[in-house]
Amino acid sequence: MADALRILIVDDERLARKALRNTVSEQDHATVVGEAGTVDKAATLIDEAAPDVVLLDVQMRGETGFDLLARIDTPVQVVFVTAHDQYAVRAFEVNALDYLLKPVAPDRLAEALRRVRATDDALPQDDAESGASFRYDDLFFYEEGHQPRFIRIADIRYIGASGNYTTLYLDGGANALTTTTLNEWTAQLPEAHFVRIHRSTIVNVNHVARINRQPNNTFEVFVDGSETVLSMSRRRAQTLKDQLQ
């Protein structure tokens, strides 16, 4: 990451964008590389401007910040900036780095940007080391509290990022929180069976029930035995389709 953080501001209110830009200007080693008032424009700017971090509003006219996260597959940190505190839990479920309430105090923004710099190594990368460590019929050792258990790799339906941790969603409905990062899982799992379908999700292709294409060129992935609908970015779709053939 460059010394100066490259920041994209996404908010549907012009005055809110201006206020946030002014607050960013008070920070050291930070620069605004673009502004967007809609999800469409934000998605385009993320590809074109390659920001390090997106300061993202939750509620916008007719859409939400979560809609943007479902469309992008670029390694970028996300900090939600909003007047609504009821979305905090969901924000961290989608791997947001921080959650700031308007009006944003300069010291609070500075803290969030320090987190961005500190967690740069946690960003999803496409060049993870090749070579799986696990075979599909292997067992993964997992210690829950002080009770050791073994999880069969084949029983993992999908894996979701949870901050700097990952949650394994298992056959039978159980789940397990692990300290193994999503990048590490990507490198260690057998490619014939597991595909990364989003910046924060890996799915076991043997547990994929169906895929629905959405009007905005994203996809919904349904996993057997789970009510959770997974988002798949357009760039990842072909890889999963190839695995399912």
CATH code: domain of residue 185: 2.40.50.1020
Nearest to 73 by CA among 222, 171, 200: 200
The answer to whether residues 105 and 212 belong to one domain is no
Q: Looking at residue 74, what DSSP letter applies?
A: S
Q: Which residues contact 139 (CB under 8 A, 6 or more apart)?
A: 150, 151, 152, 153
Q: Which residue has the higher pLDDT, 73 or 46?
A: 46
- Of the pLDDT bands very low, low, confident and very high (cuts 50, 70, 90), residue 126 is very low
Given this model, what pLDDT does residue 163 score?
Answer: 74
Q: Are residues 227 and 166 in the same domain?
A: yes
| Model pLDDT, residue 85 | 66
Residue 92 lies in a domain: yes
pLDDT of residue 215: 81
Which residue has better confidence, 37 or 164?
Answer: 37
Instruction: Give the count of domains, the chain.
Output: 2
CB neighbour list of residue 156: distance below 8 Å, 6 or more residues apart: 168, 169, 170, 171, 194, 204
| Structural contact between residues 163 and 92, judged by C-beta atoms closer than 8 angstroms | yes
Based on the fold, state whether residues 111 and 143 are members of the same structural domain: no
What is the structure's pLDDT at 128?
Answer: 37
How much is the pLDDT for 123?
Answer: 41
Asked if the structure places residue 169 within a domain, the reply is yes
**Are 192 and 107 contained in the same domain?**
no
- Do 103 and 162 fall into the same domain? no
User: Both 101 and 182 in a single domain?
Assistant: no
59 and 164 belong to one structural domain:
no
Residue 81: give the domain boundaries.
5-122
Higher pLDDT, 233 or 122: 233
In a domain, residue 128? The reply is: no
pLDDT of residue 89: 52
Q: 165 and 99, same structural domain?
A: no
pLDDT of res. 245: 62
* Boundary residue ending a domain (66, 91, 122): 122
